[in-house]
Amino acid sequence: MVQIRWFGHSMWKITGEDIKIITDPFADIGYNMPTNERADIILSSHDHYDHNNFDLISGSPKIIKTSGHFNVKGIDIDMYPTFHDESEGSERGNNLLMKFTINGKNMLHCGDLGHMLSDDQIKQIGKIDLLFIPVGGHFTIDAATAKKLMEKLNPKIIFPMHYKTSVLNYPIKPVEDFLRLINNHCHNNSNSVELEDNDFSKEKVITLNYE
């Protein structure tokens, strides 16, 4: 069993057996600021204030924010260099795709990916069971590109992120633009969901409430 919890934006907490990973902790951008959150590992896709607020998390976590392969507490982590825009980073800089394996499931957090991945990049990433993907556009890929990338990566569980909500004053689109393009959506009326092995038997897009 693995628990997935959404704080809003691109910040997630993934809890497996004896491990807690938090991704892209945000500063004050409108969402409730978590308190007393602990983690073993923090993964950060890029050095923008809405993705790198490491002081928010306690527990002396290992912070990983560079490309390469890492193993922390038995967890394999691969950080793949990409860009925050379609102009090889000239507009918004670099971005990291963050792949990690928990309880035998390969998970990929796309950070603020700003372009479609090449076939070579997709081959390098390999098999993905669970995908966190931005869908709001403007700063990242939009809903249509997210759908195409989702189809190429072929995960079983997809969590859209980095989209417009009532508390976020960013010029990005709401998740509904993405959901209109897919047929396999379910909403969990909570900020977290627990996934068992049998939940990975068929593809589904899951949305959660933010904190």
pLDDT attached to residue 92: 82
CATH, residue 58 = 3.60.15.10
Domain extent at residue 100: 2-208
Residue 132 has which token pair? 């966190």
pLDDT tens string for the chain (211 positions)?
999 999 999 999 999 989 999 999 999 999 999 999 999 999 999 999 899 999 999 999 999 999 999 999 999 999 999 998 788 878 887 999 999 999 999 999 999 999 999 999 999 999 999 999 999 999 999 999 999 999 999 999 999 999 999 999 999 999 999 999 999 999 999 999 999 999 999 999 999 999 7
- Please count the structural domains in the chain: 1
